[in-house]
Structure 1
Amino acid sequence: MNGSGDRDWVVAARCRGADTALFFPQPEDVRRAVARAEQQAKEVCRSCPVIAECREHAVRTGETHGVWGGMNYAERRAFERAAKLGRLQSV
């Protein structure tokens, strides 16, 4: 991606116009409901043409909430650590 302000990819995002509650379930929701919403969000992400750009944006900007690029916060942190250690085969 070009520069940190480049968000042209957003217009092609599969989640554009979707209910944000799916991608940002609230912690006070029942644990099972949060897990279900997260899985549904990841399903949307799987077929998204800009999944890599979305993930890169979330990692670069330190997004701490929600599903971005098919990953939750813990998964993004692990992804970022693996990338820094050179453990990722391909992105």
Structure 2
Amino acid sequence: MNDHDPLTPDTTPLPTGGKPPKVVVVPLLAVWKWQSLAACRDMDTSVFFSPPGERGSARRHRESTARAVCAACPVRTQCARFAVACGQRYGVWGGLTEADRRSLAPTDPVGRPVARTPGGSGERSSRTP
């Protein structure tokens, strides 16, 4: 983890000799604090997650409502980056729908989602259908 973004791994090389690097412990609350600032924090989750079988105009209306909440949210970027980085499959996160995130996610040659790795390469995800 780096000092700027908890979702981006620290790629600083480890020392080759001498003492091991000092481990800095970051309180868990500091990593997730952005969630406490979210505009959706006390809202009904049904605005952001579809009920079973939702399709067509009902789905578009719900997603539009969710995106409007996200548009005014102070942590929209952190939320969207979190959802993409950890492969959230359902709901609207940071203004991104399920389809939006699928279009941003890396895939293997067959089109299946792959897990993101710190070096930018991917490996087959165990969370595929």
With structure 2 as the length reference, what TM-score do the two structures score?
0.57
Q: What does residue 6 of structure 2 align with? A: 2
CA distance in 1, matches of 2:52, 2:58: 10
Shift of residue 79 of structure 1? 3.4
Letter in 2 for 1:22: V
22-31 or 63-72: which moved more?
22-31
Q: What does residue 18 of structure 1 align with? A: 43
CA distance in 1, matches of 2:83, 2:7: 14
Count of residue pairs the alignment pairs up: 82
> Aligned with 2:54: secondary structure?
coil
CA distance in 1, matches of 2:54, 2:101: 22
Q: What is the RMSD computed on CA atoms of the aligned residues?
A: 2.0
Residue 88 of structure 2 corresponds to residue 57 of structure 1: no
User: In the TM superposition, what are the counterparts of 1:31-70 in structure 2 within 5 Å?
Assistant: 31-70=56-95
> Aligned with 1:21: secondary structure?
helix
Structure 1, unmatched stretches of 5+, are 85-91
Which has the greater radius of gyration?
Answer: 2
Higher relative contact order (CA 8 A, sep 6+): 1
> Aligned with 1:35: secondary structure?
helix
Q: What does residue 115 of structure 2 align with? A: none
Letter in 2 for 1:70: G
Shift of residue 3 of structure 1? 4.9
Name the structure with the higher strand share.
Answer: 2
Contact 2:7–2:82 (Cα < 8 Å) also in 1: no
Letter in 2 for 1:7: W
Q: Deviations over 1:21-59 (max 9, x none)?
A: 010012413521111011000000001000000001101
Letter in 2 for 1:52: T
